[in-house]
């Protein structure tokens, strides 16, 4: 049975004990809920893959509590330290050369010489990081791989109850879309997310190239079909057709649900995965085969939202 732990000292202590014992614990970050295990224990990391049905060639993110821990896991250039100083703790993941002596499981890095590292801003996530935690969020989230990311503890339990040891209930995640993943040397956007591209480009003083490999991912969240609800997904929908659930954004035709009636991208990002879940349940209840989604601007957080939606709409194997 999966324990539901409060985000208070006794619950956090229990979560720490479970993690040290090689068990899996889901916990909130400022982006989405992650499923965590000790990144140095191969059996724990394998358990993450097994619980989520996650392809083993898709790397995981190592979550750390502070820079001292981050430096033990990865090799930081001056540029990487500057980015960490600006955006950590927060929704930015850096892909850096891994330190072999750190003892991070090869399953975490998918056998690559690099490791994805992030320092979450959520106090619960950082409290849990007494050692490096391998975490799934990037859709790694605590739902079976390929499904919608969890932004509340109930979402975790819907997908993984009875398959993991515990979930720490820290309430709803405030950002609601996964972290931005950035590779360096040269800088390359591997996944859009909670830190928008424009802000990164301003700091770096250069435009960012877009990278990533959907066949052999070099960072989490790059598989083509990702974040997929049970119903089919139609994007850029300006109206509702028969047999559809219409998910709106901003002013427009009457919608069954909306990401943001005011057209606010921050609100839309926060509600994205929860609304996909609600839309999927509504489609099932009404016998609708498709979720039609209104156009989202390709700017700021809209990039990350559209990235998730395109993966949700991609053909499924």
pLDDT of 141: 41
Q: By the 8 A CB rule, do 73 and 99 touch? A: yes
Q: Which residues contact 88 (CB under 8 A, 6 or more apart)?
A: 67, 118, 119
Kindly state the percentage of the chain with pLDDT values over 90: 54
As a whole number of angstroms, the distance between CA 230 and CA 281 comes to: 9
Q: Which residues contact 62 (CB under 8 A, 6 or more apart)?
A: 39, 73, 104, 108, 115, 116, 117, 118, 132, 133, 134, 135
In the chain, CATH 3.90.870.10 covers 3-210
- d(CA 96, CA 130) in angstroms, rounded, equals 21
Q: What is the pTM of this model?
A: 0.76
pLDDT in tens, 230-260: 899 999 999 999 999 999 999 999 999 999 9
Residues with Cβ within 8 Å of 10's Cβ and at least 6 positions away in sequence, in order, are none
Find the mean pLDDT for residues 48-59. 66
Ranking 114-118, 172-176, 258-262 by mean pLDDT, the lowest is 172-176
Q: Which positions ≥6 away from 71 have C-beta within 8 Å?
A: none
134-146 pLDDT tens trace:
876 433 344 555 6
Domain 3-210 of CATH type 3.90.870.10: yes
What's the half-sphere exposure (Cβ side, CA atoms, 13 Å) at 17? 8
Q: What is the mean pLDDT of residues 141-152?
A: 65
- Give the number of C-alpha atoms closer than 13 A to the C-alpha of residue 87, restricted to the C-beta side: 26
Residue 150's pLDDT band (boundaries 50, 70, 90)?
confident
Rounded Cα distance, 287 and 243, in Å: 7
């Amino acid at each position: 049975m999966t324990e539901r732990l409060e985000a208070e000292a006794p619950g956090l202590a229990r979560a720490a004990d479970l993690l040290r014992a090689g068990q899996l614990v889901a916990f909130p970050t400022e982006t989405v809920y992650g499923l965590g295990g000790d990144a140095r224990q191969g059996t724990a990391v394998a358990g993450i893959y097994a619980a989520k049905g996650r392809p083993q060639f898709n790397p995981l993110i190592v979550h750390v509590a502070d820079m001292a821990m981050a430096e033990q896991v990865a090799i930081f250039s001056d540029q990487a330290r500057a980015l960490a100083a600006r955006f950590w703790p927060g929704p930015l993941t850096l892909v850096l050369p891994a330190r072999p002596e750190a003892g991070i499981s090869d399953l975490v890095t998918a056998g690559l010489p690099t490791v994805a590292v992030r320092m979450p801003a959520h106090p619960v996530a950082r409290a849990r990081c007494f050692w490096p935690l391998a975490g799934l969020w990037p859709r790694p989230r605590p739902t079976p791989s390929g499904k919608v990311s969890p932004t509340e503890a109930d979402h975790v339990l819907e997908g993984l109850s009875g398959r993991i040891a515990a979930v720490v209930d820290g309430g709803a995640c405030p950002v609601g879309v996964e972290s931005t993943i950035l590779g360096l040397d040269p800088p390359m956007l591997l996944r859009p997310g909670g830190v928008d591209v424009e802000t990164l480009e301003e700091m770096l003083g250069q435009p960012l190239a877009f990278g990533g490999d959907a066949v052999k991912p070099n960072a989490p969240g790059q598989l083509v079909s990702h974040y997929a609800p049970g119903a089919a997904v139609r994007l850029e929908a300006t109206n509702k057709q028969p047999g559809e659930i219409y998910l709106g954004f901003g002013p427009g035709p009457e919608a069954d649900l909306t990401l943001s009636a005011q057209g606010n991208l921050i609100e839309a990002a926060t509600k994205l995965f929860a609304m996909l879940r609600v839309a999927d349940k509504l489609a099932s209840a009404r016998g609708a085969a498709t979720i039609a989604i209104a156009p989202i601007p390709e700017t700021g957080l809209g990039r990350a939202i559209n990235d998730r939606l395109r993966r949700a709409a991609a053909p499924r194997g």
